[in-house]
Amino acid sequence: MSAENTSNQEKSSILIIYTGGTIGMVEDPKTGSLEPFDFEHLVDHVPELKEAKHLYTSIQFNPPLDSSQIGPQDWAKMAKTVADNYDTYDGFVILHGTDTMAYTASALSFMLENLNKPVIITGSQLPIGRFRTDGKENLITAIEIAASKRNNIAIVPEVCICFQNYLLRGNRSKKINADYFQAFDSFNYPPLAHIGVEIDINEELVYKQASVKPLIPHYNMDPNVIALRLLPGITPDTLKGILSIPNLKGIAMETFGVGNAPSFPWFIDLLKEATDRGIVIVNVTQCMEGSVAMNIYDTGNAMLEAGIISGYDITTESAITKMMYLFGEGYEPDKVREYMKCDLIGEMTIHDTKEN
């Protein structure tokens, strides 16, 4: 399905939410460093927007932010902007810095329950005012996709990242390159669309809600979760220090390969003691691609016995924001563990129920 063809037939109204990021940045004449700038400046560089076939309105974060400043409160602001304007618009485009875009996309996928309209997040590697910018193309393509509908029904009703050649499921995406225009990928789920001369959407891959229900926005995200990347040589003191962080509730533990970790008794004992105290530990692989399978090696089995749960092929970004969401909803650790084992909104593929 080509997004351009469908959107030609039906005019859509789009809300653009400009949060900041390189796409709208300008150079500070004194220091030469890039700083976020306002949306009007951005539009000046995309005259095509003024003649766009779709109607668009914009709302901007004040001040616009570098995405390394963005956190749960900003996600709540984005979710609220979508929720408050949900009935007025056919789709939403969020302009956002690339650095934490995958976290925002993952977070919003959990926060916008029953979402039935496109929320397309994009940005750029070069500011929109620069001659070789990728921002113009990304923005126009994101609008085209957010606008695409058939018989008044959105073709991509989920949170996505649109960047360069791909449309990716938001909660499967990762930033993979700091320099190249192709800055995002989704290793464990195919692109929802290939963007070239045509925008080819593979509708089979798009998330479909079982039925149309009213949007339920969730605004509380509990920040008391961390990612812990295991390293060869990790010491008991390091692990003890991490596990005794005050108020810590959840850990996305990035393990080796298919979910392996040291099998030293002190290591397993410390983890078991933490899970017994109610800390939820999810096993996520350090590999870019592939899934955790904890019943292949002894170390995996020992971790299962210590109460650690498999994150299967979930990204760290998704595991972290899913826990923030579940704890933010006020669930007890056992309930959080239960939900972490389930695919809530297309964020993971459960391949082997023996780990459940």
Task: Tell me the closest approach of the beta carbon of residue 96 to ligand ASP, in angstroms.
Answer: 7
**Which range binds ligand ASP by CB under 6 A, 97-105, 134-142, 260-268, 272-280?**
97-105
Residue 134 interacts with ligand ASP (CB under 6 A): yes or no: no
Task: Tell me the closest approach of the beta carbon of residue 105 to ligand ASP, in angstroms.
Answer: 13
Cis peptide before 63 (omega within 30 of 0): yes
Of 88 and 131, CB closest to ligand ASP: 131
How many residues interact with ligand ASP (rule CB under 6 A)?
A: 10
Task: Tell me the closest approach of the beta carbon of residue 227 to ligand ASP, in angstroms.
Answer: 18
Of 68 and 182, CB closest to ligand ASP: 68
* Distance in angstroms (rounded) separating the CA atoms of residues 150 and 158: 15
Please give the helix or strand (H or E) that residue 58 lies within, else none.
strand 55-65
**Which range binds ligand ASP by CB under 6 A, 73-81, 93-101, 141-149, 344-352?**
93-101
Task: Using alpha carbons, list the distances in angstroms from residue 113 to 14, 20, 121, 315.
Answer: 20, 25, 17, 20
Task: Tell me the closest approach of the beta carbon of residue 183 to ligand ASP, in angstroms.
Answer: 7
Q: Nearest 5 degrees, angle CA 235-CA 341-CA 315? A: 60
Of 38 and 338, CB closest to ligand ASP: 38
Of 5 and 68, CB closest to ligand ASP: 68
DSSP, collapsed to helix, strand or coil, labels residue 265 as helix
List the x/- string, 8-27, binding to ligand ASP by CB under 6 A: -------------xx-----
Query: 182: closest CA among 195, 192, 172?
Result: 195
22 in catalytic set: yes
Residue 123 interacts with ligand ASP (CB under 6 A): yes or no: yes
Among 64, 72, 91, 97, binds ligand ASP (CB under 6 A): 97
Q: Using the 8-state DSSP alphabet, how is residue 167 labeled?
A: E
Q: Helix H segments across the chain?
A: 3-9, 39-44, 72-84, 101-111, 135-147, 236-243, 265-276, 298-305, 316-328, 333-340
Residue 125 interacts with ligand ASP (CB under 6 A): yes or no: yes
Task: Tell me the closest approach of the beta carbon of residue 287 to ligand ASP, in angstroms.
Answer: 24
List the x/- string, 34-73, binding to ligand ASP by CB under 6 A: --------------------------------xxx-----
Task: Tell me the closest approach of the beta carbon of residue 79 to ligand ASP, in angstroms.
Answer: 19
Given 22, 81, 100, 285, the catalytic residue: 22
Query: 329: closest CA among 222, 246, 247, 250?
Result: 222
Q: In this structure, are residues 270 and 243 in contact, taking their beta carbons and an 8 Å threshold?
A: yes
Burial of residue 38 (number of CB atoms within 10 Å: 0-12, 13-18, 19+): middle
Query: 110: closest CA among 333, 335, 327, 321?
Result: 321
Of 67 and 109, CB closest to ligand ASP: 67
Residue 104 interacts with ligand ASP (CB under 6 A): yes or no: no
Task: Kindly provide the b/e burial profile for residues 181-190, where b requires at least 16 CB atoms within 10 angstroms of the residue's own CB.
Answer: bebbbbebbe
Of 68 and 235, CB closest to ligand ASP: 68
Of 36 and 328, CB closest to ligand ASP: 36
DSSP, collapsed to helix, strand or coil, labels residue 348 as coil
Chain residues that interact with ligand ASP, rule: CB under 6 A: 21-22, 66-68, 97-99, 123, 125
Q: Show which residues are catalytic.
A: 22
